[in-house]
Amino acid sequence: MAENSSVIYIVVLCAVVATLCGVTIAKTLSVHNKSDFMVAGRKLPWTVLVFTLLSSWIGAGSLFAGAENAYLHGFTALWQSAGGWFGLIIIAVIAGRARRFAQFTVPDLLEARYNATARVMATIAIVISYTVITSYQFKGGGDVLHLIFPELDRTVGMYIIAAFVIAFTAAAGMASIAYLDLVIGALVTTIVIVSVPLLLGEGGWAQVRSTLPASHFTVFGDVGVRKAMGYMLPTLLLLVGNQGMYQKFFSARSEKDARLAVLGWIVGTVILETLLIVLAVIGSAKFQTDKPREIIALAARRGLPTLVGAVLLGGIFAKVISTANNYLFSPATNLIHDVYGRFINRNATERQTLIVSRVLVIALGIFALLQATQFESILNASLYAYTVYGAAVTPVVLAVFFWKRTTTAAAVTSILLGAGVTVAWNVAQGLGWKNEVDAVYPALIASVASLVIVSFATPPPDEKKWRPFFE
């Protein structure tokens, strides 16, 4: 029976890999220029955008960091997800306007509204944040392979995942990513809905309640209000300013497609993230592990019927690949478009641009893999990455759409302080500084305060700087 079970897991995983390869090969043949590679030729309909937004957002951050949080603290982990839900309300307002701008990257927005310095500084923050996010996708994927093939070491599995992601991302860019996400998003959403009642099993909810501490079922659990908000704020800030999200809006077929995609994204995100936390809580009541981040994958392997568990693990594997693709692709796009094409080789041919793009994907993938060897907790890594991006980039991005008075000097100062305070705070805590305050609080305060104070202390911007974003 165990041998048959292993065969089913292998067959499902091979089917997932074959699907990923097939879509990537098909879309690679359609890549002919920079627009095809970076924004899928601006041809994505809202039905595809819904799933690529959903799949790129719900990756190892939800499947492993959120699961780790739920294992340790119960339903308090929903505060981490709720940051994304609140952020989606803001996104619904600006999605159409972002598509109307129709550029390639978030730094495009920042240079148009501010200047080239803001572009470069935002690019640096994006590279720092997104390579960390990519790194824990690699780590989570290695965990999944280890659970499917126990004889395979987690570290070896991590290297295998990294190789897959780097190859897929370098091959076809946004076109490959978007259509992979369509397949993966539909698969994972369906199998998670099926898995929750099956995992709950005979003991039902009463058994889960009696097994876990009462604090796991309260609003703020055993962490308190400040820590709960410390989970929510980084997630909210990352989502609202998310480079990959704007890049997908730029890939939309029209403004209407961008707006419709956000509505579908809201519904899908609330349902799927809630169900994932429920899965993790039920799993924590049934299984004990010294690696809390693995609880959903562990529950799939040990607590579900073989076929369902195999499909869920295959879906998790595919989600990790998908999210890693997205977060590896975004900083590569920044470097090729915002640095190489803007400052190094303004007259680069389409062929040169594609070659350099793929080389950068490989280089950043290796950099992310090196980072993955330096941490254990995916929850802590995700909060750090979210805060670097959220405190440095999100306030100045929101100011583009909502505050005409923002000045260039204020934007540059805000980016510098948001990223600098986050990195310094975490380095100090890593060196032994005893401080329970999450980095998001001082970093966000420094970023927003400098944005407001410096804006009022410097002359207002010319109308031509802000007018295109308010028409």
Residue 276 pLDDT class (50, 70, 90 cuts): very high
Does residue 99 have a pLDDT over 80? no
Higher-confidence residue: 101 or 257? 257
Q: Which two tokens stand for residue 320?
A: 């990790």
pLDDT (mean) for 47-74: 80
List all residues 6 or more positions away from 167 whose beta carbon is below 8 Å from its beta carbon.
none
Higher-confidence residue: 20 or 297? 297
Nearest to 395 by CA among 413, 383, 377: 413
Which DSSP symbol is given to 32? -
Does residue 257 have a pLDDT over 70? yes
Pick from 19-28, 217-226, 330-339: least confident: 19-28
User: Which residues share a beta bridge with 252?
Assistant: 44
Residue 216 pLDDT class (50, 70, 90 cuts): very high
Q: What does the pLDDT read at residue 275?
A: 92
Does residue 413 have a pLDDT over 90? yes
Radius of gyration, alpha carbons of the chain: 21
Residue 28 pLDDT class (50, 70, 90 cuts): low
pLDDT (mean) for 198-227: 90
Q: What does the pLDDT read at residue 49?
A: 73
Query: How far is it, in rounded angstroms, from Cα 51 to Cα 138?
Result: 21
Does residue 63 have a pLDDT over 90? no
Does residue 399 have a pLDDT over 80? yes
Nearest to 163 by CA among 138, 140, 139, 180: 138
Secondary structure of 425-452 in the HEC alphabet? Answer: HHHHHHCCCCCCCCCHHHHHHHHHHHHH
Give me the chain's average pLDDT, please.
Answer: 83
Query: How far is it, in rounded angstroms, from Cα 449 to Cα 7?
Result: 58
pLDDT (mean) for 162-179: 70
Per-residue burial over 147-165, b if 16 or more Cβ lie within 10 Å, else e, is bbeeeeebeebbbebbebb
DSSP character string of 112-126: HHS-HHHHHHHHHHH
Does residue 35 have a pLDDT over 60? no
pLDDT (mean) for 72-80: 93
Q: Is residue 140 a contact partner of residue 64, using CB atoms and an 8 Å limit?
A: yes
Q: What does the pLDDT read at residue 434?
A: 77
List all residues 6 or more positions away from 28 whose beta carbon is below 8 Å from its beta carbon.
171, 172, 176
Q: Which two tokens stand for residue 94?
A: 């600006």
Does residue 261 have a pLDDT over 50? yes
CATH topology of domain 2-377: Sodium/glucose cotransporter (1.20.1730)
pLDDT (mean) for 194-217: 90
Query: How far is it, in rounded angstroms, from Cα 43 to Cα 63?
Result: 30
Q: What does the pLDDT read at residue 330?
A: 79
pTM recorded for the entire structure: 0.81
Q: What does the pLDDT read at residue 29?
A: 59
Angle at alpha carbon of residue 76, lines to 74 and 79, rounded to 5°: 140
pLDDT (tens digit, 9 = 90+) per residue, 142-154? 988 888 888 889 9
Taking each helix axis from N to C end, the angle separating 224-240 and 440-457, rounded to the nearest 10 degrees, works out to 60
Q: What does the pLDDT read at residue 244?
A: 66
Pick from 23-27, 262-266, 303-307, 359-363: least confident: 23-27
Counting residues of the chain whose pLDDT is more than 90, the rounded percentage is 32
Question: What Cα–Cα distance (Å) separates residue 146 from each residue in 199, 282, 414?
Answer: 21, 22, 42
Query: How far is it, in rounded angstroms, from Cα 304 to Cα 383?
Result: 30
Q: What does the pLDDT read at residue 40?
A: 47
Does residue 162 have a pLDDT over 70? yes
User: Which of the given ranges, 34-43, 215-224, 460-469, has the highest pLDDT on average?
Assistant: 215-224
pLDDT (tens digit, 9 = 90+) per residue, 111-144? 889 998 998 898 899 899 989 989 988 998 898 8
Q: What does the pLDDT read at residue 292?
A: 92
The strand ranges marked E within 151-253 are none
Does residue 372 have a pLDDT over 80? yes
Residue 39 pLDDT class (50, 70, 90 cuts): very low
Does residue 1 have a pLDDT over 50? no
Does residue 21 have a pLDDT over 80? no
Query: In degrees to the nearest 10, what's the CA dihedral of 50, 250, 331, 316?
Result: 10
Nearest to 289 by CA among 302, 276, 274: 302
For the chain, give every domain's residue range: 2-377
Q: What does the pLDDT read at residue 2?
A: 52
Does residue 208 have a pLDDT over 70? yes
Q: What is the identity of the amino acid at 363? A: A
Q: What does the pLDDT read at residue 402?
A: 87
Residue 4 pLDDT class (50, 70, 90 cuts): low
Neighbours of 286 (CB within 10 A): 18
